[in-house]
Every structure is written in C-alpha cells, then in structure tokens.
Structure 1
Amino acid sequence: MPPVTTTEAGYVSIVQLTDSHLFADHSARLLGLDTFASLNAVIDQVLDEVDQMDLVLATGDITQDGSEGGYQRFIEAIGRLPAACRWIPGNHDDAALMATLGDASGLNADWIDLANWRIVLLDSSIPGAVPGRLDAEQLDHLDAALASAGERHVLVCLHHHPIDIESDWMNPLGLQNADEFLQRVDSNANIRGLLWGHIHQQLDAMRGKVRLLATPSTCIQFDAHSADFATDTQSPGYRWLRLHTDGSIETEVSRLPAGRFVPDPDASGY
C-alpha cells in the first residue's frame, strides 16, 4: 500500500468507499448482488472522475463474512487506486483480523495529517453486535487526537451513525453512546466534519458548524426513512471530498448509472 503523501494542491482530496460487504467465496452474493463486481465498477468510476487523490477512506463493513479472503479481495481492488487507503471496521467485520492484516498492508492508522487537516479514524464496532459504540479506549484516542491537533482542522470518521436518520429500523443500530461522542464534537472548534457509512444511503446535514456526511454503499442501498428493512433501487456509489485550507468541505456523491447492481427484491440474507 503506498504511503500517504503531503498534498500539493490547495485542498486535500479524499475518496470514501464504504460498506463493500465482500465475501471470500467468489460465487457468493448479497441479496443477489455481486459485491466484488460492484466495488470494482465503483473504483472504475473513481478512476474516471477523480484527477487528484490524496487518500482513500474505507469506512467499515469491508466484508460481509469477516474472512481473510474477503479482505484480500478488497486489498486487491483498492490496489488499482493511485492513493493510500486507510480502513476502519464495521459491524460485519472482524476488527482483530483487520488490525493484523492492516499492519501488514499499511491500512491501519489512528489519524492522518495532510496539509492543515487531521483525519481521525475511530473503531465503533462491537464484536458480535450490529449497533456501534465508542469504548473508553476509542474515546481516549479521540481526545488525544483532538488535544494534539494544534491549529489543524479535523475530520472524524467512524462506521456507525451518531445522529437520528429518521429510519425506525436503522436508528437503534447506530452509535449507542452518541451523546458522549457528540459532546466532544460540540465542544471542539477544530472539528469540521463527521464522516460515516453503515446506513447505505446519502446524507448531508449540519450540526452547528460541523458537516455531517454519510455515503452510499458500493453494493446494495437501503431505502431512506423506511420503518422496516427495505432496499432501494439507486445504484452503488462513492463520495469525494475536498478539504480546503480554510476549513470548508466541498463534497458530492457519485453513483454508477441507474439500473446497475440493483439487489434482487425477492432475495434475503442481509
């Protein structure tokens, strides 16, 4: 994995890939969808659309089965991108295995400093559970990152959503100690953005002066504001971000053309 290098442009350019849900078994499908093929199609689009790339962030649920084979397929796919990648686990992942593999491949980081920005990576996963939580170690890690950031602007990344997303079935599966986390966010003027995955849909909102961003999956999409589990027919996608020197964030979601990689409405097994 290439090292993170200092950007030479007037902004830091980041690509977020999230919720790829890969399998070790090449024939396995998620709700009828080939998640490895959809990830590679999204990466093709990134290569076509993003001229400058300083960092790739993979914000959890890298695999569906928590397998070494699934992680190796992800490493193979992102190897086509010209920037370093750093990852964090989600609820479908094996965080311990990711830590081991990430040490060997350079995918682990507590935080990354690029230009006058600090990107903080948090593990919100709970082994064997779907909701998330930032344990004492992770909160201490966040405190240390913020305390040592100096004058840098800060982008904080995690897997689970820390706010109400107006979805009856999905809200209880978010960050269980969101209040503890958001107290830190609200009290720190350096934090400019929060970035997460997990919800398989697009979100762009504000909390005071902090940008709140969630991103579509590279495979299946969830129906927004649904009372019960439901998929959406929107295509997979990714998010690009430009972190400017004044602390502002420019960002958009880009999706594959409509009709590509739509889950089977009759399939089950998520």
Structure 2
Amino acid sequence: MAQPDPSPVPAPVHVVQLTDAHLFADPAGTLLGLATRDSLRHVVEQVRREQPRIDLLLCTGDLSQDASVASYEAFRELTAVFDVPTRWLPGNHDEAQVMAQVAPQLVQAVTDIGAWRIVMLDSAVVGSTHGFLEPAQLATLQTALAEAGERHCLVCCHHQPVDIGCAWIAPIGLHNADELWQLLGRHPQVKAVLWGHIHQEWDELRDGLRLLATPSTCIQFAQRSEDFKVSEEPPGYRWLRLHADGRIETGVERARDYVVRLDFNSPGY
C-alpha cells in the first residue's frame, strides 16, 4: 500500500489587489462623470463573488482623489467587508500622513505571509504626478530583501517602472527606475513587481521577473495611446496566487455588471 506523502504542498497565498479608486470626501464625487465610490463598491462585490479565499488585500495608491480624511475612511469601510489583513501605499493623489492618520495599522512596509515577503514602497512625490523612490525607500527595500531569508518576494509601488507604450504616461512614471532595477538585480528571490497608476492591465516577463499592473476600480486609460485617452472598459481588480515554490498565478477580472457612462464635459482626471 502506498504511503501518504508526509510533506503536503503548502497552499498558495491568495492575494487581491485594488488600486486607483480616486474617492472623494463627497460620496457623490465623480471622475469624467463616473461615481468612484459606486464603481469601487461594484468591484468589491465582484471580488466577494469570485474570490472565496483572500489571505491579503493590497491597495496600491490613489485610494483618494482629494486626500481627505473622509475619502480614506470611505475606502476603509468599503473594503472592510473582506475582513483580511490589508496593506495600503500612497499614490500621487494621496497624502501619506493622512492615510497613516486614518489607518496606521494598514501602512506597513514589510509583510511576511506564507513563503512570501511583500514589500510596499512609497514612490509618491509631494506636489508632483511622477514617482521617485527616495534613498530611504531604497534602503528599506534593500534591508527587506537582504533579510528575507528563504522567502520569495513581491515588491509593490504606485508608479510604473517600465515603458508601457503610452506616450503621455511615460513622463509620470517612476523617474529613478534604473536604481530600482539595479537593486532588484542583486536579489533573485524577488519574483514580481506590482503597481497601479496606469489604469490598465499590464503583464510582462523581464529577465525572469514578472511585471504586473492592474486596472483602476474607476475609469480606465486606453492602451497604447499617444495623448490622454480613456476607454469604456469596466473597472477591475487583480488576483494572485503566490505559491510556496515561487510560482505566481495571476489574472485580472472586471465588474462586467457595471455600466460605464462617461461624461467628457465634466472635470477631467
């Protein structure tokens, strides 16, 4: 009789990423006529239907449009239904100090879960749209990776560190991406970099490293556009399965029941 395997394979870590909600203090606040709290609510319900298990929720910036206490409280309340460990990082529309005031327990740079270490980096530049990783952030990353031991690592930030083929987005990406790549190149335990900001899906393999971005929970930017352009794709989220052997399964799902109606005469993004 065959003997049972004494070392069963550990279950993967189930992660969900929400990004770029752009909530306002005003519950009726809109971007291009789209009510951002309503679209986030639809995405949250989509996640609840499709992801019966979530071990960690990652929220990768621009949670707010106006950096108000009320907007962060609304985001926290709308996502509290998951009742799982949650991590926030700031985007260019956010105020890190206000985020920390509202939810200090959610703003943590390093999270160990299963066989993985998650590193959340602040790439926001006060008063600017582009991103930059200050020396303190790079030092945090270096220490986190050096002390990761046998854990695989997922690195998260808000701004895109690669060219995504949208000319108008390129200048507002991560301005010192070369420094990030040099650091990551010294740490093969890093399996993926995950970000928001670009309001569209991105999935690229670069020198064995998975590069991932995720649609916004509100308006979407058109892919491969020279000038600012939005699409009428529904809002969405990303799910990830982080396996104990370092493999990553991931995909993007969209709130297909949400009807996108944009008003191009309203104040823009």
Shorter-chain TM-score tier: over 0.9
Q: What is the correspondence of 1:70-89 to structure 2 with a 5 Å cutoff?
A: 70-89=71-90
Q: What is the correspondence of 1:196-211 to structure 2 with a 5 Å cutoff?
A: 196-211=195-210
Query: How far apart, in 1, do the equivalents of 2:214 and 2:257 lie?
Result: 17
Residue 180 (1) aligns with residue 179 (2): yes
Query: How far apart, in 2, do the equivalents of 1:28 and 1:41 lie?
Result: 16
**Partner SS for 1:72:** helix
1:8-46 Cα offsets, whole Å, 9 max, x none, are 951000000000000001222111000001001000010
**Partner SS for 1:77:** helix
Q: CA deviation at 1:262?
A: 3.8
Q: What is the correspondence of 1:183-194 to structure 2 with a 5 Å cutoff?
A: 183-194=182-193
1:195-228 Cα offsets, whole Å, 9 max, x none, are 0000000000011111000000000000011010
Q: What is the correspondence of 1:132-211 to structure 2 with a 5 Å cutoff?
A: 132-211=131-210
- Give the RMSD, CA atoms, in angstroms: 1.3
Give 2:129's aligned amino acid: V
Query: How far apart, in 2, do the equivalents of 1:210 and 1:263 lie?
Result: 36
Q: CA deviation at 1:264?
A: 2.2
Residue 99 (1) aligns with residue 71 (2): no
Alignment match, 2:115: 116
Alignment match, 1:3: none
Alignment match, 1:254: 253
Residue 65 (1) aligns with residue 66 (2): yes
The answer (yes or no) to whether the contact 1:234–1:262 under 8 Å persists in 2 is no
The answer (yes or no) to whether the contact 2:39–2:258 under 8 Å persists in 1 is no
Q: CA deviation at 1:258?
A: 6.6
Query: How far apart, in 1, do the equivalents of 2:192 and 2:259 lie?
Result: 30
Alignment match, 2:243: 244
Alignment match, 2:3: none
The answer (yes or no) to whether the contact 2:200–2:220 under 8 Å persists in 1 is yes
**Partner SS for 1:127:** coil
1:43-73 Cα offsets, whole Å, 9 max, x none, are 0010000011000000000000010010010
The answer (yes or no) to whether the contact 2:110–2:119 under 8 Å persists in 1 is yes
The answer (yes or no) to whether the contact 1:132–1:174 under 8 Å persists in 2 is yes
Alignment match, 1:128: 127
The answer (yes or no) to whether the contact 1:61–1:91 under 8 Å persists in 2 is yes
The answer (yes or no) to whether the contact 1:233–1:259 under 8 Å persists in 2 is no
Q: CA deviation at 1:256?
A: 1.1
The worse-fitting range, judged by mean Cα deviation, of 252-261 and 186-195 is: 252-261
TM-score (norm 2): 0.94
Query: How far apart, in 2, do the equivalents of 1:9 and 1:92 lie?
Result: 38
1:74-130 Cα offsets, whole Å, 9 max, x none, are 011011113121100000001111122221xx2111111011100000000001100
Query: How far apart, in 1, do the equivalents of 2:158 and 2:263 lie?
Result: 25
Larger radius of gyration between Structure 1 and Structure 2? 2
Give 2:34's aligned amino acid: L
Q: CA deviation at 1:259?
A: 6.1
Which runs of 5 or more structure 1 residues have no equivalent in the other structure?
1-7
Q: CA deviation at 1:269?
A: 2.4
The worse-fitting range, judged by mean Cα deviation, of 138-147 and 25-34 is: 25-34
Identity of aligned residues (%): 49
Give 1:20's aligned amino acid: A
The answer (yes or no) to whether the contact 2:15–2:239 under 8 Å persists in 1 is yes
Residue 51 (1) aligns with residue 59 (2): no
Give 1:169's aligned amino acid: W
Alignment match, 1:19: 20
